Amino acid sequence: MKTEEAAVLETFLTLVRIDSPSGHEDAIAKHLTTELAALGVDARRDSTGNVVGKRPGRGAQAARPPILLSAHMDTVQPGNGVKPQVAAGIVRTDGTTILGADDKAGLAAILEALRATRDSDCRPVEIAFTVEEETGLTGAKGLNLTSFQAKQAVVLDSNGPVGSIVNQAPAADKIEIVIHGKAAHAGVSPELGVSAIQAAGKALAQMKLGRIDDETTATIGVIKGGVADNIIPDRVEMTGGARSRSEAKLNAQVAHMRDLFESAAAAMGARAEVTVTRSYGAIDVPESSTLIGELKQALRLCDLEPHLMPTGGGSDANILNDKGIDAVNLGVGYKDMHSTDEHIAVADLTKITDVVLAVLRG
């Protein structure tokens, strides 16, 4: 094994052994803050719990604009007590937990790139290691970037192959629905009731859900209603959402869902309350941008062919774009994320670290 492979692997194994489920990132945040300080980064935790920091540039690269590097600290469950195993160049667990390569592979790559450039020419760097990404991009939404100077960001949090650049991602709206019917005894006087469940069912039966087109998806993911099997249910609560890389298509899908809930409820004498909240805006960083050009150059310096790709999911990169920073998501190479089969190749850990190094060194 190459020395650089050994270094990034050891850093990665250390990180995955630190429990950090969403909302419980204190231990890993403390570890990362200490590590960053040793690498010349002025690091601290912000009011949301994120680890943020800055390091000035050195040498010939010092005058370049700063780049923001970001990854998230939290993991999904089951993620406590991770026991990583390395065999045949692949890191996985003993099968009882997730590995946490999502997103500790990104964290490890950033740390090792910072370590390699601690005493050499390097552009200015700003850091944002976020909390609670997995449960709603909470940390990124709480970032206060007024003291940051970077106008470009690289997020290391895609399960695509190393070499892929996610430069397009959808905007997303959360949809919350409450249907109000009328309770009645199901056996004695059902005709006096209005079933909120039936009204919801009539709407859902007509609704376009799942894959709408190549840019748009929609779902109703949670339904709660009824209190007993002998009572006509007078209330149903549902949550779902719609996503699209096209704002017009997103608006049309949300209007379609709202209209069906309202009309189906009204037809039965029920009433629908529909609340729509923007979860995050879209990513659309053009191929002609300076950021994409620099990333292509960095990838080719690492003998990787750049590949631009869209995604249907959201990430911290969406929030950074909402905050006025051009941000893209890089493929890190982990596979089967959010499952106990999650794994990553040591070679991919090394490759993504080399990419970050090339970004910093120019």
- Check residue 64 and report its DSSP letter: S
Active-site option among 35, 74, 134, 234: 74
**DSSP count for the chain of H helices, then E strands:** 9, 17
Of 174, 74, 84, which Cα lies nearest the Cα of 132? 74
Q: Is the dihedral of CA 242, 248, 251, 257 positive or negative?
A: negative
Query: What phi, psi does 346 have (nearest 5°)?
Result: -60, -35
**Alpha carbon distance 217, 230 (integer Å):** 36
Return the SS3 of 155: strand
Q: Is 74 a catalytic residue?
A: yes
**How would you classify residue 331: left for phi > 0, otherwise alpha for psi between -120 and 50, otherwise beta?**
beta
**Alpha carbon distance 223, 238 (integer Å):** 4
- Check residue 59 and report its DSSP letter: G
- Check residue 161 and report its DSSP letter: P
Of 73, 81, 74, which Cα lies nearest the Cα of 97? 81
Calculate the CA dihedral of residues 161, 141, 289, 249 and round it to 10 degrees: 80
Active-site option among 132, 133, 157, 173: 133
Q: Is 19 a catalytic residue?
A: no
Token pair listed for 349: 């850990």
Return the SS3 of 288: coil
Of 111, 117, 113, which Cα lies nearest the Cα of 32? 111
77 exposed, middle or buried (CB, 10 Å; 0-12, 13-18, 19+)?
exposed
155 exposed, middle or buried (CB, 10 Å; 0-12, 13-18, 19+)?
buried
Q: Tell me which residues are annotated as active site.
A: 74, 133
